[in-house]
Amino acid sequence: MKKRIGKIKNMFYKVFSIPIVRNSNIQKGKNVIIKNSLIRLVNSSTLIIEDGVIIENFDLFINNGFCIIGKNCILSSEYPLKSKIKIDKGKLEIKNNCVIKSNISCRFGGECIINEYTIFNYGYLRCDEKIHIGKFVMIGSDTRIFDTDTHQKLISEVRRKRTVNDYPFIGREYNKPNTLPVMIGDDVWIGENVTLLKGCKIGNGAVIGTSTTLSKLIVPENATVVSQKPRIIIRGNNNDKK
């Protein structure tokens, strides 16, 4: 049953189930559950929701983009907070049996692929070029994965003029920032509060320790990476063993 809450611009509607759209396409499989979620499609967008998907307390907005959510995936967030997927001229593929709790943004033709049995806890992914996440990947809470600088570096006069013209939408971007692909292999474990910036390549089976920040780094298969070198403090000794 479609529930119409209120009419908005371009003849689209806010809904708590499958939305009413024009010039866009939604394909919904069997046994799909959508609760307390807002889905909006504009400008010839496509959303494919395959069998057994659960979307709960999770908003999706697609503008001139493509999104496929594979079989038995769960997109959920804890009430009253909501996570969001926003695709603006981009592509997102979430393969079968994934659990997604994080915010995801795809812009400027960016392509993001999240493969089977991957869990991405509460965090943030921003894709302006390409992000590829392998199978059986565990991503901890508060982790950020960016293949982009997110903003262009402009002289202060230009940035101020844009800010004044766009206010209250501060920081809106009209051109693609600097980007480099981020590639994460299979069976990777990424701890909490990790930041992976553009150009990172993480090999299969690698472990990225809590609160680690990486940029343009190639991590070999089965390697472990941490931000700080650990120290062992020996009792009864005034010297640190490093």
Residue with tokens 């994460």: 184
Domain co-membership, 105 together with 212: yes
- Using CA atoms, how far apart are residues 112 and 121, in angstroms rounded to an integer? 17
- Can you give the CATH number for the domain in which 148 is found? 2.160.10.10
Q: Who's near 28: CB < 8 A, 6+ residues apart?
A: 18, 49
What's the pLDDT band for 154 if we cut at 50, 70, 90? confident
pLDDT-derived band at 60 (thresholds 50, 70, 90) equals very high
User: Can you read off the two tokens belonging to residue 196?
Assistant: 């992976």
Q: Is residue 95 part of a domain?
A: no
Nearest Cα residue to 212 out of 227, 234, 196? 227
Counting the structural domains of the chain, the total is: 2
**Among candidate residues 63, 88, 113, the one where a domain is terminated:** 88
* Same domain assignment for residues 13 and 117: no
- Tokens for 165? 């013209």
Query: Most distant CA pair in the chain: distance in Å?
Result: 74
- Per the domain annotation, does 94 fall within a domain? no
pLDDT by residue (tens digit) across 224-236? 998 765 443 455 4
Instruction: Give residue 43's domain range.
Output: 1-88
- Residues found in the chain: 242
Task: In whole angstroms, give the CA distance from residue 237 to residue 99.
Answer: 48
Residue 124 lies in a domain: yes
- pLDDT of residue 171 exceeding 50: yes
Of the three residues 88, 118, 153, the one that is the final residue of a domain is 88
For residues 16 and 44, membership in a common domain is answered with yes
**Whether 7 and 124 share a structural domain:** no
Mean of pLDDT over the chain: 85
Residues 151 and 185 in one domain: yes
Q: Is residue 93, in this structure, part of any structural domain at all?
A: no
Q: Which amino acid is at 171?
A: G
DSSP secondary structure, the chain, as one string: -----EEEGGGEEE-SSSPP-SS-EEEE-TT-EEES--EEEESS-EEEE-TT-EEESEEEEEES-EEEE-TT-EEE--TT--EEEEEES-EEEE-TT-EE-SEEEEETT-EEEE-TT-EE-S-EEEESSEEEE-SS-EE-TT-EEESB-SS----HHHHHHHHHHHTTSTT--SS---B--EEE-TT-EE-TT-EE-TT-EE-TT-EE-TT-EESS-EEPTT-EE-SS---EEPTT-SSEE-
* Residue 19 lies inside a defined structural domain of this protein: yes
Residue 212 has φ and ψ, to the nearest 5°, of -85, 140
Q: Tell whether 96 is covered by a domain.
A: no
Between CA 145 and CA 197 the distance in angstroms is: 6
Q: How confident is the model at residue 18 (pLDDT cuts 50, 70, 90)?
A: low
Question: For residue 127, what are the β-bridge partners?
Answer: 106
Residues whose CB is less than 8 angstroms from the CB of residue 42 and which lie 6 or more positions away in sequence, other chains included: 10, 12, 21, 23, 24, 62, 63, 64
Judgement on whether residues 147 and 176 belong to the same structural domain of the protein: yes
Split at pLDDT 50, 70, 90, the class of 165 is confident
How much is the pLDDT for 19?
A: 58
Asked if the structure places residue 187 within a domain, the reply is yes
Average pLDDT over residues 76-85: 87
In a domain, 219, yes or no: yes
Whether residues 127 and 36 share a domain: the answer is no
Tell whether 81 and 125 lie within a shared domain. no
Q: Do 51 and 140 have their domain in common? A: no
Same domain, 240 and 160: yes
Shared domain for 20 and 140, answered yes or no, is no
Of 31, 66, 88, at which residue does a domain stop?
88
Within 10 A of 18 (CB to CB), how many other CB atoms are there? 16
62 and 152 both lie in a single domain: no
Predicted TM-score (pTM) of this structure: 0.82
